[in-house]
Amino acid sequence: MPRDWRSNAGEGIDIMTQQYTRDQILAMEPKELSIAVAVEVMRFEPGTVTLGGWNPAEDISAAWEVLEKFEDYGVLFTQTRAYYCFIQTTKQRYQSSSCLTAPEAICKAALLAVMEL
């Protein structure tokens, strides 16, 4: 069961839903990526939220919580100088990301999939 993000202590961050381009997602730094995943993938309410210690772009246990949103999707990881995460959507399109860490790859692929980019 995913952690309740509202129970985490930490800095409140103002966030709003927005449209991203594929290039913007692939260039995101971890904090921005975690915030975008919180709103777009995990469906946190836009506005001021507290992410606290929940940081899926850098923490593998939080990243697996993101993958749980895709239980009907296929996901594959390989490691050849980078991590890749592939998510097959119902439209049979593959969303992929190549990153330095597995959590970053998971978050970028998940965000690309829900944004259909």
Smallest CA-to-CA distance from 6 within 63, 51, 46, 37 is with 51
Asked if residue 27 has pLDDT above 80, the reply is: yes
Return the CATH class of domain 10-115. Answer: alpha beta
95-109 pLDDT per residue, tens:
776 788 889 999 999
pTM of the complete model: 0.77
Q: Count CA within 13 A, CB hemisphere, residue 27.
A: 5
**pLDDT (average), residues 20-28:** 91
Q: Which pLDDT band, with edges at 50, 70 and 90, does 68 fall under?
A: confident
Q: Which residues pair with 15 in a beta bridge?
A: 47
Q: Which residues pair with 72 in a beta bridge?
A: none
